[in-house]
């Protein structure tokens, strides 16, 4: 009996013990494999994103010419302090802010309204959604060329239409500051409204339909449902579009550059943005250190604006 018992004891030793010991090792290898999978992204980001950013910051602390970038003279924060005494920089900063407001606010409101309409069941909704993306898919060069023809002083459609109401021809390209900025903002709105509308539409379709049914039973009309259900539910999406639009406004370059055919942004800098000013300083005047200081100042302004947007949105969310 003892021999039988010993035999039975030996046979009951788990034959899968080696497998159990291997499981933690396999899990450990699996967890480390995840780092290997994501490593290429971070390596590329470090080479093409982080290093240029740090190097630009280093260049901004020097007086260096684009014609001889190996010869640097340490100036500390002189490039940064002189920016705030430069009339052209302050003008470009003001233009960037006003063009950003004129283009982003109507653009996002229009996108919200279009998305609300597309959210209803209607015939040909797919065709309308595709049409919304067409301006975004169109080349910015083609868009600016067409709008330049529309805003032409003597032969443009806009002045012809305004002339029907007795308005004298407007020089949109080199005329009054805010009218020129309105022309540039129109190009930006045309290109990005449909894109933002589709983002809002995706957010609206994630809202449970039962909420609207319950509101309808309680007697809420369409407008009340939009204000009380749709807008609060879309708050994270709205914050995202506001942040992206803010960053895009600070980096606006192609439209004003192609509209004026130079980096001056109009005859008297009516719509010279910060990126045009940066390009002018670095690649036309060869002041590479000064241009690098402009780039880092733009980054700081974007971070501050994004934090303000996030703070206001969170404050609004707490108040309900």
Query: Domain containing 116 — which CATH number?
Result: 1.10.3720.10
Q: Do 58 and 124 share a structural domain?
A: no
Q: Do 116 and 62 share a structural domain?
A: no
* 146 within a domain of the structure (yes/no): yes
Structural domain boundaries, residue 99: 78-318
Pull the structure tokens for residue 286.
């060869």
* 252 within a domain of the structure (yes/no): yes
* 111 within a domain of the structure (yes/no): yes
201-205 CB contacts, 8 Å cutoff, 24+ apart: 201/115, 201/118, 201/119, 201/129, 202/237, 203/233, 203/234, 203/236, 203/237, 204/115, 204/116, 204/119, 204/230, 204/233, 204/234, 205/119
pLDDT of 32 reads: 73
Closest CA to 147 of 189, 112, 103: 189
Residue in this structure with the two tokens 């969170």, named with its chain if needed: 314
Query: How many independent structural domains does the chain possess?
Result: 2
Q: Do 99 and 243 share a structural domain?
A: yes
Q: For the whole model, what pTM was predicted?
A: 0.82
Residue 61 C-alpha from the chain's centroid: 28
CA 109 – CA 104 distance, rounded (Å): 9
Q: Do 49 and 103 share a structural domain?
A: no
Closest CA to 105 of 207, 174, 201, 182: 182
pLDDT of 102 reads: 93
Q: Print pLDDT tens along the chain (320 aa).
A: 444 444 444 444 455 566 666 677 666 666 677 788 888 899 999 999 899 999 999 999 999 998 888 889 999 999 999 999 999 999 999 999 999 999 999 999 999 999 988 887 777 778 888 888 888 888 889 989 999 999 998 889 999 999 999 999 999 988 888 899 999 999 999 999 999 999 999 999 888 888 888 888 888 888 888 888 888 888 889 888 988 998 899 889 999 999 988 888 888 889 999 999 999 999 999 999 999 999 999 999 989 988 887 787 777 666 65
* 1 within a domain of the structure (yes/no): no
Last residue of a domain, one of 51, 77, 103: 77
* 226 within a domain of the structure (yes/no): yes
Last residue of a domain, one of 33, 54, 77: 77
Q: Do 89 and 47 share a structural domain?
A: no
Q: Do 181 and 54 share a structural domain?
A: no
* 262 within a domain of the structure (yes/no): yes
* 3 within a domain of the structure (yes/no): no
């Amino acid at each position: 009996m003892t021999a039988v018992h010993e035999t039975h004891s030996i046979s009951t030793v788990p034959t899968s013990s080696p497998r159990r010991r291997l499981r933690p090792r396999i899990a450990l290898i699996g967890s480390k494999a995840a780092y290997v999978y994501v490593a290429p992204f971070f390596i590329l980001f470090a080479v093409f994103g982080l290093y240029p950013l740090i190097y630009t910051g280093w260049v901004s602390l020097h007086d260096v010419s684009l014609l001889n970038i190996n010869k640097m003279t340490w100036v500390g924060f002189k490039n940064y302090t002189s920016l705030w005494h430069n009339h052209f920089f302050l003008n470009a900063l003001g233009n960037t802010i006003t063009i950003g407001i004129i283009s982003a606010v109507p653009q996002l409101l229009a996108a919200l309204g279009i998305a609300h309409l597309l959210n209803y069941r209607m015939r040909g909704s797919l065709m309308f959604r595709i049409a919304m993306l067409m301006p975004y898919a169109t080349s910015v060069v083609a868009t600016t060329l067409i709008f330049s023809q529309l805003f032409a002083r003597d032969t443009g459609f806009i002045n012809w239409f305004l002339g029907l109401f007795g308005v004298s021809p407007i020089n949109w390209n080199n005329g009054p500051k805010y009218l020129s900025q309105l022309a540039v903002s129109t190009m930006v709105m045309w290109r990005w409204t449909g894109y933002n509308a589709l983002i809002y539409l995706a957010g609206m379709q994630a809202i449970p339909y039962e909420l609207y049914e319950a509101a309808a039973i309680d007697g809420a009309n369409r407008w009340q449902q939009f204000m009380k259900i749709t807008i609060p539910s879309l708050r994270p999406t709205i914050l995202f579009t506001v942040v992206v639009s803010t960053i895009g406004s600070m980096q606006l370059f192609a439209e004003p550059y192609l509209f004026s055919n130079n980096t001056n942004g109009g005859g008297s800098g009516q719509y010279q943005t910060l990126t045009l000013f940066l390009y002018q300083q670095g690649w036309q005047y060869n002041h590479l250190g000064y241009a690098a200081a402009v780039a880092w100042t733009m980054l700081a302004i974007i971070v501050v604006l994004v934090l303000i947007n996030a703070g206001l949105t969170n404050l609004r969310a707490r108040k309900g």
